[in-house]
Amino acid sequence: MINKSLDTAVLIFCKAPIAGYVKTRLTPPLSSQQAATIHRELTIRLLSLLAALDAYALQLWCSPDTHHPFFKHCQQHYNLSLHQQHGDDLGVRMHHAIETALTTFPKVLLVGCDCPSLTHVDFEFARQALQTQKDIVLAPAEDGGYVMIAMKKPYPEIFLNKTWGHQQVLDKTRQSIQQLGLNLTETRVQWDVDTFDDLQRFFKIDKTEIV
């Protein structure tokens, strides 16, 4: 059962591990099914890390819906709730999830499921920063985007009417935050698994780094 006494929710954005639907930039050299398997492994890795911390209410925000057996498996094994993503683009979906979660929890952290560089230190840094005067926490990525955003109030201006998937996403997000007059802090720079080179980097990680 989800612990309702927790004051911070982590919203994990996750696609169903369907061949041809996830990690398409890994194919080739991987097959579509192998890419889907990598997606599952990355997701389980993150959920295992967060579940071990026992400091957050976990919400898995699913696409295209919550019905895939993998999502049910995650719900059964990692004490999380399932939610369906809604919206025509990534920004709309992120804003909807954050706005919804903030009706129940004072603080939310939204994260993708494919960033193996995130550790408990990064999540705790974000949670503690929100307990101070910081309004927004970003986990910047090497590719010019970000892999996590945390906040205490919904700010649609950060997400809506934006373009995604380019190298200026992080800079544009910083600009939006500055224009709103919000207090921003950032974690160390992260990296996620998008390309085959990223995957090779992932395979070299010492597995003890996730705890």
pLDDT in tens, the chain (211 residues): 445 458 999 999 999 999 999 999 999 999 999 999 999 999 999 999 999 988 899 999 999 999 999 999 999 999 999 999 999 999 999 999 999 999 999 999 999 999 999 999 999 999 999 999 899 999 999 999 999 999 999 999 999 999 998 899 999 999 999 999 999 999 999 999 999 999 999 998 755 444 3
CB 85 within 8 A of CB 11: no
pLDDT at 38: 96
In DSSP notation, 78-113 reads HTEEEEE--SSSHHHHHHHHHHHHTTT-SEEEEEES
Q: Record the pTM.
A: 0.93
CB 141 within 8 A of CB 187: no
pLDDT at 5: 56
CB 146 within 8 A of CB 139: yes
Residue 83 has phi, psi (to 5 degrees) of: -140, 145
Domain 8-202 in CATH 3.40.640.10: no
Domain locations along the chain? 8-202
83: left (phi over 0), alpha (psi -120 to 50) or beta: beta
Q: Which residues make Cβ contacts (< 8 Å) with residue 160, sequence separation at least 6? A: 91, 92, 95
